[in-house]
Structure 1
Amino acid sequence: MSEPILHITERALWDEARSKGTYEISTRGRTLQEEGFIHCSTRAQLPRTAAAFYSDLDDLVVLVVDPGRLDVPVRPEAAEPGGEEFPHVYGPIPLDAVIAVEPWRAP
């Protein structure tokens, strides 16, 4: 996977990660340790992900992650057999792998 992958999160969680040096939240309410990987999306998938999990929150950011800067596996996987595949990051995301942080604005 060479294209950037995206992860939507609460700004406060991103700020906390910046003080720790790595990002370790899987998805809303779940950590990497609890889930086993960090849920990500492609640019095309992001609006649906945001609507499904974050529609009631306002202060969100999108982490733009360069998979080439990760030292952990990134696997496209589906929640169910034959379903749409989403990129999953199997370890913490180091800050230097986040090449941009964009404010989220629902379309």
Structure 2
Amino acid sequence: MVILHCMKKEKWNEVKRNPEFGEKNLQIEGFIHCSSVEYFWRVAPNFTNIKDDLVLLCIDTDKLKAEIRWEDGDNCGREYPHIYGLINTNSVIKVLPYNKDIRGNWIKNEEFDTVQNK
């Protein structure tokens, strides 16, 4: 299964050569926020006002070494994948641009056209 993690392109370029990354997220939140592809449109508004270039990391959960817990932290009736540990870089199987319109709203990547939003 593939899950998504959104981050600044500049940060990805800094960490992609490391064997693992995510220390800051773990220090602040205790886990690393991710999303299923089906639910990403629901979390995309969190990135609307970020002016930096963003990327979507496509993480293969079978390759990920850290524990993943599917949790409904906001009691919204949907569970999102939270990674409790560092992300091993070799679990990132694809890096896609975070496409957005002039208002900063996410434009679904064509790679996800066959995935229905939930």
TM-score, length basis structure 2: 0.76
Aligned partner of 2:80 in structure 1 is 86
Contact 2:18/2:89 (8 A) holds in 1: no
Aligned partner of 2:15 in structure 1 is 17
Q: Which has the higher strand share?
A: 1
Aligned partner of 1:56 in structure 2 is 49
Which structure 1 residue ranges, 5 or more long, are not aligned?
Answer: none
SS of structure 2 residue aligned to 1:31: helix
Q: Please point out which of 68, 74, 85 is paired with 2:68.
A: 74
Which structure 2 residue ranges, 5 or more long, are not aligned?
Answer: 100-105, 108-118
Moved over 4 A (4+): none
SS of structure 1 residue aligned to 2:49: coil
Residue identity opposite 1:54 in structure 2: F
Residue identity opposite 1:17 in structure 2: V
**Deviation of 1:82 (Å):** 5.9
Q: Please point out which of 29, 38, 42 is paired with 1:44.
A: 38
**Deviation of 1:65 (Å):** 0.3
Contact 1:14/1:23 (8 A) holds in 2: no
TM-score, length basis structure 1: 0.83
Residue identity opposite 2:2 in structure 1: P
**Deviation of 1:44 (Å):** 1.6
Aligned partner of 2:2 in structure 1 is 4
Percent of paired sites with the same residue: 35
Equivalent pairs counted in the alignment come to 100
**Deviation of 1:49 (Å):** 1.1
